[in-house]
Structure 1
């Protein structure tokens, strides 16, 4: 039986179905009901840069880092022991002053961010990385399959119109966010519970509240609570300067992780 456009349309629909299955949100894990870490909240709201910003804020509050020259952050003291994986990765990457965009390129920081992604995925807040990448590849294949069919075997008008359906479906699924509905509900509830305060929070007891405020409100919270550190360290997202040289990785290296 010779191939006609229906074969290609059917193949495109199969690819679309497989992508839709992969993009289904998972069930929140047992830790999803616990109070989320500010870095996880920042990752959900603003991505990797936001998570590293909160890690820098936490280190600054503990007296470990301060702002340097030309929009960089530098070590100010070792403070207390740092156990959080992302904060530890950021601290050990600051052998020389570096800006936040430089820190985001350091392999050990990237590995810590991957682990944070995995943690959020295990709690049902982000779609798992492998499923996300596979689904996106399948969505890219849908219009390519339809275009190949139209090039090889020009179909009738009904066949051509039918082939537009999986393409439209692929475009719609492309805009499905990496966040799950559970993550959006969590962020909404946290915004309600932690509105941006009218005045800066001060004192030891306010340390976790400042981190959560920055995680939820980004630049506005930085300018309110830590204006000098935010501006001097190049943490603000609007036209901030970001200098520094990427610190060298140790020769022994570490175990690398996969993509985002």
Structure 2
């Protein structure tokens, strides 16, 4: 392998080391413990931004402030004057017309409220901070580009081909392993596991705060149990998919019924 090739490999491993430090080292200023997070924070931690907005909509629907509209939309059904929660207030004030949850997620007020919720989870040590997360992902994006550039610009002789392929494969495997790191911290994953043990899926329809935590933890299955008409008519089902690094959690979905992830957000 030509000496110049090692500069590219060294650069790739420097990127890997920086990304690993951002993903795996404890974030400065993160506090662990403290009060238990509310249902919207739990939903964000489990399933990302859409899951958090879903819980906010269920809370508003229980207060009589919103209802389902036509063709999978949600509309205002009351003044919501007693709403004090920042995310619920942002959702309610953004419903100037009947819209689907996907459109609601793009509303500036909702996005700011979700960012604040995500940052609160990061300060509590439950999520990796947004700036660290995005920087680490950007570094990991650059690893295969660096390796490919080294291979294209400095092609070794045929006898060196196995070494070239082996080093490149090892570098890419390390990048893939770091890419699979979840956005939730170990503390966040432990919290989700303990909450699922404390709040298993209900066997019959309930009301009040129990519904919110159930939807936060169990996604579509809880929606279909507690608010089936609102969930179906409002287009709330299927609140899964990856969201900024969140990966599907089959423990909460039961083999794909709800692919809600367990990023921030």
Q: What TM-score does the superposition give when structure 1 sets the normalisation length?
A: 0.84
Q: What residue in structure 2 maps to residue 51 of structure 1? A: 52
Q: Deviations over 1:25-81 (max 9, x none)?
A: 536944644211100111111111110000001111111111122111111112442
Question: In 2, are the aligned partners of 1:25 and 1:180 still within 8 Å (CA)?
Answer: no
Q: Which residue of 1 aligns with 2:115?
A: 114
Measure how far apart 1:200 and its partner are. Answer: 0.7
Q: Deviations over 1:84-126 (max 9, x none)?
A: 1110110001111111111011111111111111111111111
Note if contact 1:62-1:80 (Cα within 8 Å) is conserved in structure 2: no
Cα displacement (A) at 1:19: 0.5
Gaps of 5+ in 2: 241-263
> TM (normalized to structure 2)?
0.83
Aligned twin of 1:146 = 147
Q: Determine the C-alpha separation between the residues in 1 that align with 2:31 and 2:144.
A: 39
**How many positions carry a matched residue from both structures?**
236
CA drift at 1:160: 4.3
Question: Partner residue of 1:14?
Answer: 14
Distance 1:182 1:232 in 2: 36
- More off after superposition, 47-56 vs 229-238: 229-238
Structure 1 distance, partners of 2:66, 2:232, is: 14
Question: 1:94 & 1:32 partners in 2: Cα distance?
Answer: 35
Q: Secondary structure at the match of 2:75?
A: strand
Tell me the residue number matched to 2:65.
64
Query: For 1:234 and 1:159, how far apart are their aligned partners in 2?
Result: 51
| In structure 1, distance between residues paired with 2:165 and 2:201 | 53
Question: RMSD across aligned C-alpha pairs, in angstroms?
Answer: 2.1
Summarize the alignment of residues 1-260 of structure 1 with structure 2, pairs less than 5 Å apart: 4-24=4-24, 26=26, 29-30=30-31, 32-155=33-156, 156-157=160-161, 158-202=163-207, 207-237=208-238
Q: Which residue of 1 aligns with 2:259?
A: none
In 2, distance between residues paired with 1:130 and 1:210? 33
Instruction: Deviation per CA, 1:201-255: give whole Å up to 9, x if none.
Output: 14xxxx111100010111111111111211221111189xxxxxxxxxxxxxxxx
Change (3 A) 1:124 1:196: same
> 5+ unaligned residues in a row in structure 1: which ranges?
240-258
Aligned-partner Cα distance in 1 for 2:239–2:21? 38
CA distance in 1, matches of 2:81, 2:116: 23
State the Cα distance separating 1:163 from its structure 2 match.
3.3
